[in-house]
A = this chain, B = another copy of it.
Amino acid sequence: MSSKIALLQANPVVGDIAGNANLIAKLAKQAAKEGASFAVTTELAISGYPPRDLLLQTDFVEECHNVASSLNTEIPVLVGTPVPPTSSRSLPGNGVVRAGDSVREVTRKQLLPTYDVFDEARYFEADERPGIARTIAGLDIGVTICEDAWQHCGATPNDYDSDPIAQIVEWGRQGVVLDATVNLSASPYHANKSETRIAVARSAAASLNHPFLLANQVGGNDDLLFDGRSIIAWPDGTAVVAPAWSQGVMITDLSNPNGCLWLGDGNVTILSPGEELNEDEDDLLNAIITGLSDYCKKSGISKIVLGLSGGIDSALAACIASAAVGPENVTGISMPSRHSSQHSIDDAKATADALGINFSMQPISDLHTATDSALSDVLKGGHPVAGENLQARLRGLIVMAHANANGAMAIATGNKSELGQGYCTLYGDMAGGYAPLGDLYKMEVYSLARQFNQRLGKEAVTESTLTKPPSAELAPDQKDEDSLPPYPVLDEILRLHIEDGLDATQITAKGHEAVTVKEVLTRLAKNEHKRWQMPPAPRVSKRAFGQGWRQPLAAKHDWRQ
């Protein structure tokens, strides 16, 4: 009897039921060929994760369930799929069906995360027990789904009433002996999260006293990223981890860590008990590239266009775009105004040349003068920001004209620090179908730019771009620091508030000036209207702007006063 179980680390397309079914069948075939006795998909692999409001369509749920149940594979497969509700007055389940041999429903998810980017209580009815696939290729297997395993080691933000891992442990005490427990996951990425996910697997294996196997989705869907890194962990803490950002199959060997095999790009990592996984230094860079690349692929977008200002953000955005869709499919447009420096044009050109992307010059001076003069009555005596924004919006208009004319997607180049402070122009630099840097703090943008240069082996982002003081160049001699704290300070204040949930008093106690902290948090609150209209951005931090960020909009007052 073989003890090889295949974890199908797939990159599904949300909503593409037939395509996802083919993908699962293809990966299962590879697994069978390598001698796996059965395979396990990721969570909701048939629909892709997150299916969001598609789950409100009865016919969608039924179609997923039918297709998952009728998968025709050589070896049995535990397939993650939405399953129809048990009554007309209840919700569907987030379930697992067994396909390939005797078709049956195995289990439904018990713990439905409803925080941050998760909305599962909107869509699913919770089950009350984990499942057992008995007997599958001679093994008895406990079956859990993603969050089900996270309560056990306290890795959820709040406690659930039940603990599915503890339930299986209890069954063991009562004589239900299992050979392994599997977990079908769509566990989203954020920087340094893999450490927690591995701890979850080790904790489960230790308590269960048998191997715990977690198959995780990989790739980007909308604003969510999944890093893969499927895991098998043993009770002693030994673990084998699949590569990140790469689709493939991990053939696990229940009795031998060294026997675990990866079918796909990259290699497994074997961790001794207690040993931690080092996320590569350029993991974040891979995350951002995957996000944009998958967004384009899954939306049928093959070309990208963006404004190239000569500044750090657009330079890195161009690097990401060229890595995501190929330099030949990227167009960077330099759009100098009368406030632009020569170095802005030179740096933009140098970036385009180094990347090999298409470069276009479209000075806006004449249009700027024309709009200035057409709007002179409006601008005269009005707030100066109106004139500054004109330039950003003319650029947005030009970039969008390129995009619309050529069937390309414009990308917005703003970062999280700017977006958090409203230091960006609606319909100007915020225009675009995706904001690849939208969840990166400014100092992370610098760091990724240097990494990208290193990877490319040349200065795609020029030294001049990397070292000159950041400027929007919308007014003479304008510098970001005229309006904002220095970025290292700003980033830290934003991070303490957004990621760690600290309030003004607590942040001040960390050594930041009270006035600065108050200004930063007030601007954060006052610019919520911009974030309601920002393009989707790949989520790489513990807390990102976007669908998981639901601040009230109209309440602009600072309630702390």
Contacts and interface: CB of A to CB of B under 8 A. Distances in A.
A1 interface: no
Given A53-B549, A89-B158, A406-B382, A48 B555 contact: yes
Given A90-B158, A551-B54, A299 B375 contact: no
A400 B51 CA distance: 36
A362 interface: yes
B535 A532 contact: yes
B404 A501 contact: no
Nearest to A427: B427
A439 to B, nearest CB: 15
A466 interface: no
A515 interface: no
A405 B388 CA distance: 10
B433 A529 contact: yes
A370 to B, nearest CB: 5
Contacts of A402: 378, 386
A501 B56 contact: yes
Contacts of A533: 533-535
Contact of A427 (B154, B378, B400): B400
A401 B390 contact: yes
A25 to B, nearest CB: 17
Interface in A327-384: 362, 366-367, 370-371, 374-375, 378-379, 381-383
A552 interface: yes
B431 A298 contact: no
Contacts of A253: none
A336 B17 CA distance: 47
Interface string A46-90: 001011111011111001000000000000000000000001011
Contacts of A536: 532, 553
A223 to B, nearest CB: 8
A495 B115 CA distance: 30
A552 B382 contact: no
A349 to B, nearest CB: 18
A34 B461 CA distance: 72
Contacts of A177: none
Contacts of A554: 13-14, 221-222, 294-295, 298-299
Contacts of A298: 554-556
A222 B552 contact: yes
A199 interface: no
A224 to B, nearest CB: 10
Given A51-B552, A397-B371, A552-B52, A557 B16 contact: yes
A503 interface: yes
A18 B299 CA distance: 47
Contact of A550 (B119, B374, B535, B549): B119
A91 interface: yes
A314 to B, nearest CB: 18
B300 A52 contact: no
A514 interface: no
A274 interface: no
Identify which of A221, A397, A559 gathers the most chain B CB atoms within 10 Å of its CB.
A559
Nearest to A530: B433
A176 interface: no
B15 A557 contact: yes
Contacts of A552: 14-15, 48, 50-54, 221-222
A121 interface: yes
A273 interface: no
A555 B12 CA distance: 11
Nearest to A371: B367
A456 interface: no
A389 B404 contact: yes
A359 to B, nearest CB: 14
Interface of A: 13-18, 48, 50-54, 56-60, 63, 87, 89-91, 114-115, 119, 121-122, 125, 154, 158-159, 221-223, 294-295, 298-300, 362, 366-367, 370-371, 374-375, 378-379, 381-383, 385-387, 389-390, 393-394, 396-398, 400-407, 426-427, 431, 433, 501, 503, 529, 532-536, 547, 549-557, 559-560
15 contacts: A15-B559, A50-B552, A52-B551, A57-B501, A114-B114, A119-B122, A362-B374, A366-B374, A375-B401, A378-B402, A378-B405, A381-B405, A383-B404, A393-B400, A529-B535
The list of the 4 closest CB pairs from A to B, nearest first, reads A382-B405, A15-B555, A386-B404, A386-B405
